[in-house]
């Protein structure tokens, strides 16, 4: 998601970027609500308060002025951007990238972990515009 704020709109309403950031943080949450214990795994139960598209983000109330809500869309543009970052690439090759940090657990086989990760990435690649 890309939020492009208009400085003139912020100034006209006396709203700081910190207020916008706080509103986005408060309005877009995933909170653990419990745990389901299985025989060999534990699953976190999550309450979905996740905003999923530009329209949802745009409707987010940042603050109130004169009793009326000021929504994120009133302060600029909200764009569904996926992994595209216009400012600079994330990879060492100059290409856009998704960075995954994988750590094997003690006592596991490094080669086996690497093979499993590669298999998962290969399976996810067709669904992601960022993986080629």
Only one residue has tokens 């216009």, namely 86
What residue segments make up the domains of the chain, in order of their start?
1-81, 88-132
What's the mean pLDDT in 60-73? 93
What's the mean pLDDT in 83-88? 50
What's the mean pLDDT in 100-121? 84
Task: List, for residues 12-40, the tens digit of each pLDDT value.
Answer: 999 988 888 888 888 776 555 566 666 66
DSSP string, 44-85: EEEEEE---SHHHHHT-EEEEETTEEEEGGGGEEEE--TT--
Q: Residue 123, Cα to own-chain centre: how many angstroms?
A: 21
- Provide CATH code, domain 1-81: 3.30.2090.10
pLDDT of residue 121: 84
């Amino acid at each position: 998601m890309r939020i492009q704020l208009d400085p003139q709109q912020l100034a006209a309403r006396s709203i700081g970027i910190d207020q916008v950031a706080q509103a986005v943080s408060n309005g877009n949450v995933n909170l653990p609500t419990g745990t389901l214990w299985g025989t060999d795994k534990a699953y976190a139960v999550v309450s979905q308060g996740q905003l999923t598209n530009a329209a949802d983000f745009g409707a987010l109330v940042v603050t109130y002025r004169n009793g009326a809500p000021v929504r994120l869309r009133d302060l600029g543009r909200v764009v569904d951007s996926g992994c595209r970052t216009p400012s600079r690439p994330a990879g060492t090759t100059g290409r856009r990238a998704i960075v995954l940090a994988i750590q094997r657990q003690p006592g596991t086989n490094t080669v086996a972990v690497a093979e499993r990760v590669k298999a998962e990435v290969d399976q996810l690649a067709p669904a992601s515009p960022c993986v080629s």
